[in-house]
Amino acid sequence: MANVLQRGKRLLEKLKAEASKGKASLCEETLVEIKLHLTNLRGLPPRFEKTATAQEEILLGRECLEQAVLCSVQFRDEAAFERNFLQLNTYYTDTKDLVPPSEQELVVRGLNLLRLLVQNRIAEFHTELETIPPHVQNSSPYIKYVIQLEQSHMEGAYNKILNSSKDCPSQLYVPFAEKLIETVRDEICACSEEAYNSLTIAEAQKIMRFDTKQALLDYAKESDWEVEGDRILFKNEAASESVELDSMALIKNTLYYAKEIERIV
């Protein structure tokens, strides 16, 4: 069993080295090898056999899956993140009385909450949040950061969200924070499109919080907005014209409905 543990540790170090070099395909191959290798450790969930090295096995399995989660964040693979987190969460819930807590747990839990927020899975967000004790929610910067983002989103305080990447408690949070910012910007742009027929480029850049004029123009092109001079046109004149109602026809219909209702009563 000692040899199996040593090989598992070597594979973990290999994974970390590949991740540090940004080699996504190699990381994926090594992860598959690690997960197959972990099946040889009888002390891991769901077997939980009381082997002589059970505690060491659990610590190794947990660290391997934590590294898998961090790799999925690094390579912006949300589907892989979800798969790896579900496997890892078993260690956080079912082995907490068997081994010391992980220093990475709150980082990973915060990342999972942020992922759910980005995917607009609010019910699951709150379900997951309930598994974290209130005192941890208030004291951990990793959890508190995401809670504040969710509150800002519910309140429509988009400025706070757009500035949130500057306050990330860890660089690991930046990819998800940037995606949330993109989602919020899309909401602001959609609201602007409904609220205005047109805006100057300067006004649109300020309202939509684009860092550069070119970024705004690129977004306008993707959204099929027209650019004329220094203005962005959201709607054509025909769409914005009010439709005149035939007042006499409206009166006749109203009287007819009133008469029919009176007859029925």
SS (H, E, C) 171-239: HHHHHHHHHHHHHHHHHHHHHHHHHCCEEEHHHHHHHHCCCCHHHHHHHHHHCCCEEECCEEECCCHHH
Residue 18 carries which side chain, given as an amino acid letter?
A: E
| Cβ atoms 4, 41 nearer than 8 A | yes
pLDDT of residue 164: 83
**Phi, psi for residue 50 in degrees, rounded to 5:** -85, 75
The pLDDT, as a whole number, for residue 17 is 96
> pLDDT band at 112, cuts 50/70/90?
very high
The whole-number average pLDDT for the span 107-125 is 95
Order of strands across the sheet with 226-228? Answer: 198-200, 231-233, 226-228
CA 11 to chain centre: 29
Region 97-105 average pLDDT: 95
> What are the chain's domains?
2-197 (1.25.40.990), 198-265 (no CATH)
| Pair of tokens at residue 55 | 């505690």
* pLDDT for position 187: 85
Residue 110 near residue 169, CB atoms below 8 Å: yes
- Give the confidence band of 256 by pLDDT, cuts at 50, 70, 90: low
d(CA 225, CA 129): 40
pLDDT for residue 253 = 65
Bin 157: left if φ > 0, else alpha if -120 < ψ < 50, else beta.
Answer: beta
pLDDT (tens digit per residue) in 47-78: 899 989 999 999 999 999 999 999 999 999 99
Work out the percent of the chain whose per-residue pLDDT is above 90.
Answer: 67
Burial 231-257 (b: 16+ CB within 10 A, else e): bbebeeeeeeeeeeeeeeeeeeeeeee
Q: Which of 208, 223, 224 is nearest to 200 (CA)?
A: 208
Structure tokens at 70: 């961090």
- Please give the Cα distance from 68 to 191 (Å, whole number): 38
Closest by CA to 240, choosing from 208, 188, 194, 186, is 194
| pTM for the whole structure | 0.79
Look at 52-56, 79-83, 153-157, 249-253 and tell me which has the smallest mean pLDDT.
Answer: 249-253
